Amino acid sequence: MPNALSLRSKAVGGPVAEAVVELTPPYPQGRRRAVLLVHGFNVTEAAARASYDTLTAQLKALGPATGALVADLGGVYWPGDADLGLLSAASYPFEIGPARDTALRLAEYLETVEGPGGTPTEVYLVAHSLGARVTLELLTCLAGAAAGSAWMRGACLMAAAVPVGMVDAGGLLVAGTLLPARTLVLYSRSDLVLHWAFPLGETLAGEGFFPSAVGRRGDPSSRWTDEEELLGDDHGDYWGDPRTAVRVARFLGVPVPAELPSLAPVSRPLPDVSPLPTATIAARDLPARTVGA
């Protein structure tokens, strides 16, 4: 990932940094277009970088047009991870605050961004899981602030860990859904995290009583300009799904060949399973019996 914006403190799972740190020469200052990738909850910086690199490779494989898009990509790193081992998921209710803080810091930074010659920079966001919450909080902040130089062109929300009620009529984040010219929601009913863990986490966070997630069925469908189900995808499959690269490229207005190259999904590694020991049954002679006529 050549471009990066970091909002992480030095401590794992620590507070959001006071300002956006540019890990490379100023990005996206001076660019006509910027595509920000936003990871989700319980994701380390190394894992986020791997996810971003996977999507980047899938885009490159689609052809020259999408390969040229790579220069516009930038990874956003925020403190959405927790160093609790197997109990990391239990910290979900405590990550909503950092998600809001991240949105605020990122909004402050984007309002300073200018394109070539002071023209607006077209900004797109591609977000996953709780990163979709960061994105909608960001858009809501920008919708309520004075117009900045950044032009929020579109938002793609994958496996969005956002309660449906927050983006439905009268919801807290509705203004954010209306700011971009286009919104694309990629969802999956096969997502076990959003089916089981999300409602409990949101309930514990005091944001509803076992609410449904946007990324579960794409609801409310009338809220988005585009939506599509990625059949069979579980929560962690989106970044490595070749269908995601195709949908993102088309969403960004990049032509994709009618005949696509063969792209293999990038699967999450599974733990090795040792083969079971083979049991040997000892042979034994049975006494012969004569059956009477």
Closest CA to 41 of 101, 105, 128: 128
Confidence of residue 1 (pLDDT cuts 50, 70, 90): confident
Count of all residues that appear for the chain in the document: 293
Token pair 């507070």: residue: 15
Most distant CA pair in the chain: distance in Å?
Answer: 108
Asked if 23 and 8 count as a contact pair (C-beta separation under 8 A), the reply is no
Q: Is the pLDDT at 291 greater than 60, yes or no? A: no
- Residue 281's pLDDT is 39
pLDDT surpasses 80 at 211: yes
In tens, the pLDDT along 94-137 reads 789 999 999 999 999 999 999 999 999 999 999 999 999 999 99
Spans of all domains in the chain = 4-251
Choose the weakest-confidence range: 48-52, 182-186, 200-204, 229-233: 200-204
What's the pLDDT score for residue 172?
A: 97
The arithmetic mean of pLDDT across residues 242-254, rounded, is: 95
Q: Taking the mean position of all CA atoms in its chain, how far away is CA 117?
A: 32
Question: What pLDDT does residue 42 have?
Answer: 86
Residue 146: the pLDDT is 64
Structure tokens at 32: 């006509």
DSSP β-ladder status, 73-77 and 33-38: parallel
Residue 276 pLDDT: 33
Give tens-digit pLDDT for 154-199: 999 999 999 999 999 999 999 999 999 999 999 999 999 999 999 9
Average pLDDT rounded to a whole number, residues 219-238: 97
**pLDDT exceeds cutoff 50 at 271:** no
User: Is-contact 244 58, C-beta < 8 A?
Assistant: yes
The residue whose two tokens read 């090795």 is: 272
CATH architecture of the domain 4-251 equals 3-Layer(aba) Sandwich (3.40)
Predicted confidence (pLDDT) per residue in 133-156, tens digit = 999 999 999 998 866 678 999 999
pTM for the whole structure:
0.86
Token pair belonging to 186: 């990629």
More confident residue, 217 or 87: 217
State the average pLDDT for the chain. Answer: 85
CA distance 118 to 237: 39
